[in-house]
Chain A
Amino acid sequence: MPATTVHLGFGLLVAAALLPSERFDRKLLAVFAAILIFPDLDSIPGWWLPGAHRAMFHTLVLVGVAAAAIYYDTQLRERSWLRERGGDWAVRAAWGLLATHLLAHLFLDWAHLSGINLVYPIGDQFFRLEGKLVYSTADGWIQTFVDIGSDEGGGTTIDVGQQGSTDDVHVSTPTDPEPGGGVDKDVERIVPFAVHGWQLYLILLGLFTVGARRLQGEPPEQALEE
């Protein structure tokens, strides 16, 4: 996986962009970290449920359920649990961080290694987004994200990066480096922080953004009223 550190870095940028007027204090950063780290805990059920990592918590189904729950609580109920506990701040943070989880964690994993199990548990199929989009004066438009071909029987096949199901896809993690269930012993465990230049870039980008946000002076009153 892109390491959790890369998700945190890119997530900081996306969260800062989605929550333009919040202060990035300890409280917000703690909730942010909890939401961004949480999906990767599905590597722990991998001990007894092979293939759970990148499936169980890396699914659009969970995003849909969470969005429905926030909507029901804040819009349909007479008294919102979330608003009573944390006021409008909690509602804004909930929506902003749910969107951050989708854009900075799930989507980034979708584009990496074996991808994610998009609609688990409704369907059990990993998808990986990989490709390029180029216009060439010699060859015209080239895109390699979706590959349409034909199989031996003459039918059409559409390849959008299908990778297999939880039965045969295993993404190595420090807690569960080898495929198959059970706790592995005497194996090399690798905790990646960043691999390639771009991953380090995304980490530094997030740190820069939040550092700049904290250094910025408060806007004057009249700027807020405009």
Chain B
Amino acid sequence: MVPTLVAAAVAALLAAALLGPAFDRRSLFLVVLAGVVPDLDAAVSLVVCGATNAAFHTLVLPGLFGIALYWDTTRRERSWLRERYGWRGVRIAWVALASYLVAGIGLDLFSPEGVALFYPVQDRFYAVSGRLLYSTQDGLVQTYVTIGGEGVLSVGSPGTTANHHVESWLNPTPDTGWDRGAERRLTLVETGWQTIVVVAAAGVLAIRGWGTSDRTEVSA
């Protein structure tokens, strides 16, 4: 899977961009937590075969949460969330959902290892990779999405939970159960661009934190 640190960095950038006046240390922590929680399905894979990038990287969980959130905040006469936590609670809940979907699942969907989007309904992994460019010789080239046999759009798939294993610190081997002898690798960043995403998130948080402390000094 894409390193959890990179997911945390994307989640932090989303928090800074979308929380608005609800942005503070606590809400930042909640949104980053929502972005890294999907990676805990590596622990599930110790019990259920092939659960890494599947059990929590599914659209089913955030889909149910999103429906409940939408129903509570817009359809009901009196929203439980709004009465309890006010405007900030509603904003933080929506941004946390976005963080889960975009930083938690999306980041892995666009990596070669892919995610099982519809687990447990379907156990196939999906991975979007390819290229989109314009060449003066070949015209417009697009290989991210292919049109299948019956006109169905499809993206690449590295396999199913039965035959595709995503390596992680908790479960480096394809089997279930804790392997005592195996080498474990905790990857913080794999490539240059991931490093830059982490650097950018750190830079943005430093600038935002500096700006906030500046403002409180002025008002005090």
A residues bordering B, Cβ < 8 Å?
Answer: 2-3, 10, 13-14, 16-18, 20-21, 99, 103-104, 107-108, 110-112, 128-139, 145, 188-198, 200-201, 204-205, 208-209, 212-213, 216, 219-220, 222-224, 226
Contact = CB atoms under 8 A, between A and B. Distances in A.
Closest 9 interchain pairs by CB?
Answer: A111-B192, A197-B110, A17-B16, A16-B17, A201-B110, A197-B129, A138-B183, A17-B17, A103-B200
A108 B192 CA distance: 8
A interface, over-half SS = mixed
A35 to B, nearest CB: 16
Contacts of A139: 183
A21 B193 CA distance: 28
Contact of B133 (A108, A132, A193): A193
A219 B132 contact: no
Contacts of A213: 17-18
A219 B203 contact: no
A198 B18 contact: no
A99 B203 CA distance: 9
Contact of B135 (A18, A103, A190): A190
B170 to A, nearest CB: 12
Interface residues of B, number: 54
Nearest to B137: A188
B16 A197 contact: no
B187 A132 contact: yes
A112 B192 contact: yes
Contact of A224 (B21, B192, B199): B21
Given A130-B191, A137-B184, A20 B208 contact: yes
B185 A135 contact: yes
A135 B186 contact: yes
B196 interface: yes
Given A112-B193, A196-B129, A197-B129, A136 B184 contact: yes
A107 B200 contact: yes
Contact of B20 (A21, A132, A201): A21
Contacts of B14: 13, 17, 209
Contact of A110 (B16, B131, B185, B196): B196
A220 B22 CA distance: 11
Nearest to A220: B87
Contacts of A145: 195
Given A194-B132, A196-B129, A212-B98, A17 B195 contact: no
A200 B17 contact: no
A136 B185 CA distance: 4
A148 B145 CA distance: 42
A209 B111 contact: no
B127 A197 contact: yes
B187 A219 contact: no
Interface string B110-130: 111000000000000001111
